Amino acid sequence: MAHWAQIDDSNVVTRVAVGDSSQSDEGHAWLVNNFGGIWVMTSYEGNIRKNYAGIGFTYDETRDAFIPPKPLASWVLDEGTCLWVAPIPMPEDGAAYMWDEEAGDWIAIPEDAVE
């Protein structure tokens, strides 16, 4: 099976399709002939273009990667994974945390609030 992402003029993913054909060229041709537009192959396993494309993701031609929307203003792009990460790592002490954008830091979630 082949997976494809349709991108608009700004390289934003507008549609994701899965094809039956094991021949990627045939599937690509069918999508272009039936839906038009620009289609870029994506991988459900993430073994090409870093991440599986989703609607709203951006295809970065330079990095040859699908990048999800930026979740928070302070987060930065990890160049290795093309995923957004907090500007400071989350503590790894076994407690539950959530990012507080206003404080610019991880805030511990009380144990009784975690289910």
Q: What is the pTM of this model?
A: 0.86
* Average pLDDT for runs of 10 along the chain of length 115: 93 90 73 93 90 98 98 97 97 95 95 73
Q: What is the pLDDT of residue 14?
A: 98
Give Cα separations from 18 to 3, 40, 104 (angstroms).
5, 12, 39
Gap between the Cα atoms of 102 and 44, Å rounded: 35
Pairing of strands 65-67, 58-60: antiparallel
* Residues 59, 13 contacting (CB under 8 angstroms): yes
Q: What is the pLDDT of residue 18?
A: 86
Domain spans of the chain? 2-69, 71-115
Q: What is the pLDDT of residue 77?
A: 98
Gap between the Cα atoms of 34 and 77, Å rounded: 35
